[in-house]
Structure 1
Amino acid sequence: MSKKRCSIAACASLIISLAISSPAAADPKPPDPRYEVIASWKDNTGAVVYLRRGSWNGKNGWGFEKVTRYHNLNIAAVRLTTQFPESRNHISGHKYHFTTPVHHVRCTGWWIFRDCQIVETVDVTIGVDFRDVGNGSFGVVTAFCTGDPRCPDWVKGAANSR
């Protein structure tokens, strides 16, 4: 009888030690901060577009960090381009490009004597990946202006004035 008690005690202590040290009992891994949703809205078709934090290391990246730090755009420019695109093109899989022209307008005069002219136009393109990543779609991958990866400052101003 004492042998059975001893083996039962040994088995019980082994099970307890395994349960305590098992990876399942460890603290869960914190969520990856790159996938934090900065903003979301509906595009021109009603699909939800997510702008996630992303990353930018000076050479490669995606999301909000790349859009703002490398391409010099803001949330308003990205949102408006996906909501009011001139074109929405399927690239591959779940990826789409939204493109719309943005005009740089200069005005002179005032009141009824005001005269405004378009002095420059650039196309803004937003790349969105709609594949599911568990808490919504992957979202905005990139955004850029035609001709130069870094958009002029006035593009952000045009988007903010709408």
Structure 2
Amino acid sequence: MRDDNPNPSLMPGQLLARGVSRALRSHDFVSVEELVPTSGLRVDVMALGPKGEVWIVECKSSRADFQSDTKWQDYLEWCDRFFWAVDGDFPTELLPDETGLIIADAYDAEIIRMGPEAKLAAARRKVMVQKFARHAAIRAQAARDPGGFIETPY
């Protein structure tokens, strides 16, 4: 994995999210960044698998970033699997063993430890797939017409 920053305007966590999204695509998952599953929560990466699997990945760029995250356990009820994504220098012993682990950089990532599966209820899965689709469509439309589209709150 490479160390150089391909886009200096992106923050370290956003660079990790980019590498994670690329790697998840190689596993046949599509992803969106900064999705709001419910009021007060915003996940770094939500991925949707070919069978409707919902994974959430939280990207942490430093020890302080991880230690200041007080909401991560609230994400567990919104996904089938939960992962942390960190760079190769991150002290991974800080991360809970009962969560998934991805080592990433701006270009790629590798799943080191699979997050345990906790299947979503059908009704919750439907809500998450709809949120995912709407979020992706809003982002695509905004990219096509950045001056003419106003993003609406979820």
What TM-score does the superposition give when structure 1 sets the normalisation length? Answer: 0.29
What TM-score does the superposition give when structure 2 sets the normalisation length? Answer: 0.30
Higher strand share: 1
